[in-house]
Chain A
Amino acid sequence: MPRLTRWFLRSGIACLLLSLALGAWPVHAVGTPRWLASSWPVQLHLLTFGWLTQVTFGVAWWLFPRAGSVSSRHEAAMWLAFGALQAGLLLRVIFEPLGVVVPAAAIALPVSAALQFTAALAFAIAIWPRIRAR
């Protein structure tokens, strides 16, 4: 299994655990902090983007057919996808709930959005040449 795949899978599992931990919290209980009570978008994105999509990225990089050796440019694009995905998710996990309490914190969200878009685009560029008919 390639090193990139191992990192994607490890990070994906961490996101799954974090999402489940957030989901287990009784958000409607009296006394729950406002930032935690409104954290469901973060929980959902940890599950769909952090877990499902990230594991898909990693497994696709491992299993999709290789035409000879993978070029270093495509591997670099895949590392960019990995880094941008982690940074984008991290910013979102911190600043989206924080923005409920401190509105100024929401200023980080466009950066998070740009990073997540970069991750999707970089993955598409990295994997595209490996999707072809025999």
Chain B
Amino acid sequence: MPPISVRLIRTALLWLVAGAAIGGIALAAPGAAGPGWRHAHAEIMLMGWMVQLVLGVAYWILPKHAGGAERGSVALAAGIHPLLNGGVVLAVLAWLLAWPDATLLAARGLQCAAVIVFVLVGGPRIKAFGVGRARPGQPA
């Protein structure tokens, strides 16, 4: 498993536990936890846990390139983790502390950037197994 996938999947597990804790508090003591807690719970479970796990597993398991960097640019892919988790942290803080809507907008921007980076790196790997990357000057 590549180190980038390890980082993404382990962080997803941490978000799973954190999201279950926040959701549990919102369920057990709805009076103590404000409405922002439910939004934070949904944010963590969807983006921090599910989306992050899927991106981590996809980066690991999609067909590799035949030549060159087998999983595409590692430097580019290394940006997925900080962008996605920066977005999740910012959104969770915005929900819990009732920060202005601009914060949520910034959080969504970071999350979108993470997905765009993933598409740039992982997109070309969505192909049949055994199909190599076309070399410059050769037909695909």
Contact = CB atoms under 8 A, between A and B. Distances in A.
Contacts of A65: 1
Contacts of B53: 56
Contacts of B27: 92, 109-110, 112-113
A114 interface: yes
Interface SS, A side: helix
Contacts of A92: 27
A56 B6 CA distance: 16
Interface string B1-24: 111001001100110110111011
A112 B27 CA distance: 9
A2 B16 CA distance: 23
Given A48-B45, A120-B17, A133 B3 contact: yes
Interface stretch (A7-15, A24-32, A71-79, A121-129): A121-129
Given A53-B50, A92-B27, A114-B24, 18 more contacts: A52-B50, A110-B28, A110-B29, A112-B27, A113-B28, A114-B28, A120-B17, A120-B20, A123-B13, A123-B16, A124-B16, A127-B13, A128-B10, A128-B13, A131-B13, A132-B1, A133-B6, A134-B1
A112 B25 CA distance: 11
A116 interface: yes
Interface residues of A, number: 24
Interface in A97-125: 109-110, 112-114, 116-117, 119-121, 123-124
A113 B23 contact: yes
A128 B10 CA distance: 7
Q: Which of A48, A116, A131 has the most CB of B within 10 A?
A: A131
Contacts of A119: 20
